[in-house]
Amino acid sequence: MTTFFQQLINGISIGSVYALMAVGYSLVYSIMNFSNFAHGGVIMLGAYMGFFALAVGNLPFPVAMILATLGSALLAIVLERIAYNPLRKRNAPYLYFIISAMGASIFLENLVIAIIGPNFKTYPKVFEKEPFLIGTLALGRLDVMMFIISAVSLTALLFIIEKTKTGMAIKATAYNLRASALMGVNTDHIIFIVFGLGGGLAGIAGVLFGMKYTVYPQIGFITTKAFIAAVFGGLGSLSGAVLGAILLGVIETITAGYFSSQLRDLIAFALLIFILVVRPMGIMGKQNEDKA
């Protein structure tokens, strides 16, 4: 039983980071109705920003986190202006957005390889390795901080969405972009904000994931897990994305703990196929016209 609870805690910790990625994914999907595969490149560069701020700049962790968050938000906005905005102005098919997103992701990955190199980089120690002990359970300090930072970030996003005029405009635009524009909502400004919010969350996720494991140019592949979590919970549903991410993290850690770590990805993709076949809208997802 102790092993089960230990794996459950680890799963919630990594699932909270998946949630940061999945929520950013769902934000963009809810507005523009396409999967932003360049999200992985933003996560990857966020991880590198945090690494260099800590390892080279010797900055305090909070400052490094803020810089990575702002830098990733800016990167996501620039990507939207360059890769998606021209297509949106021409009312291009959604397939063109997906192709542009994949091209942007490959470009960012190869840019990092050319400038920084393909080698793995390890974050300097930020938190003590001595775990918190609760009976026979050992809670890693990094795991606890990952959960706390993710929870605070997601709560702040929820406050923006539910309690501010900008959040109301985001929900209206997600419901119907054209109708919102006709009602006076500056949809271009809302898309700008959504990409900024999604990019900021991606930067936080990149730093936390890099601290947990390592940083390398292909780390953006982890965005596949965000996509699975978003589909599992329901594309376009922020609460569904969080739920799907937590469940995915728990399923992965329990699979690794009781069976084999090599089965983690197998289980994740099998879960994606199962959800798409049985319930394509996900656990909490709605039809596209009701996805706000």
- The DSSP 8-state label assigned to residue 215 in this structure reads B
State whether the Cα torsion 179-184-185-186 is positive or negative.
Answer: positive
Q: Which of 52-61, 85-94, 212-221, 231-240 is predicted with the least confidence, judged by mean pLDDT?
A: 231-240
Higher pLDDT, 101 or 133: 101
CATH number of the domain bearing residue 175? 1.10.3470
- Band (pLDDT 50/70/90 cuts) for residue 292 is very low
Average pLDDT for the chain: 88
The answer to whether residue 187 scores a pLDDT higher than 70 is: yes
Listed in sequence order, the residues at least 6 apart from 135 whose beta carbon sits closer than 8 Å to its beta carbon are: none
Does 192 fall in a domain? Answer: yes
Q: In this structure, are residues 16 and 211 in contact, taking their beta carbons and an 8 Å threshold?
A: no
Whole-model pTM: value is: 0.90
Query: What domain range includes position 199?
Result: 2-117+136-290
Q: How many domains does the chain have?
A: 1
pLDDT, tens digit (0-9, with 9 covering 90-100), for 226-258: 888 888 888 777 888 898 899 888 988 888 888
User: What tokens does 167 get?
Assistant: 């959040």
**Residue at 23 is within a domain:** yes
DSSP state at residue 1: -
